[in-house]
Amino acid sequence: MHQDVAKVLLDEPTIQAKVRELAARLSEDYQGKCPVLICILKGAFIFTADLMRHLTIPTRVDFMAISSYGNRTRSSGVVQILKDLDRSIEGEHVVVVEDIIDSGLTLTYLQENLWSRRPASLRSCVLLDKPSRREVPFTPDYLGFQVPDEFVVGYGLDYAGLYRQLPYIGVLKPEVYQKHS
């Protein structure tokens, strides 16, 4: 365990089992279709890669970079698109793949933005959910795990660009992020 992590919430085997389960559900629900997975950078890139490897259907991937955190531990509520899609999603079956939902503001904004581009369907696949932090109603279509209101890192999730490489999801020690607040 990394020295800045207080405890491991989800170990690597637990995460991988859930990713396989989500991929099986997506493969069944999109049988006969070729959905576009929209990976929300940077946090969801590891989750998206693992998810894609377990899909049994054809799929495409595109990327968006969204910011509402900066180097803070809580969302500012202001969503910025830093990198947009490379191609049109009009008429496509779209699945937004996100690492975590807490306030719901980012995914609500993103969903409204993507619906305006006229996809055939639009769903969300989220690895982690912090329902206690919800400010606007949002329920992911595919969900990995609910987690407590603690600052989590690893498996793509970061603090100030660090800890993404950890193969597990752990709780960051408060003294690590409080000294930068």
**Residues with catalytic roles:** 102
CA–CA dist 100, 165 (Å, integer): 16
Helix, strand or coil for residue 165?
coil
Sheet with 93-101, strands from edge to edge, namely 80-83, 60-67, 36-41, 93-101, 121-129, 142-146
Q: 160's torsion region: left (phi>0), alpha (psi -120 to 50) or beta?
A: left
DSSP secondary structure string, 119-140? -SEEEEEEEEE-GGG-SS----
Two tokens at 62? 């595109």
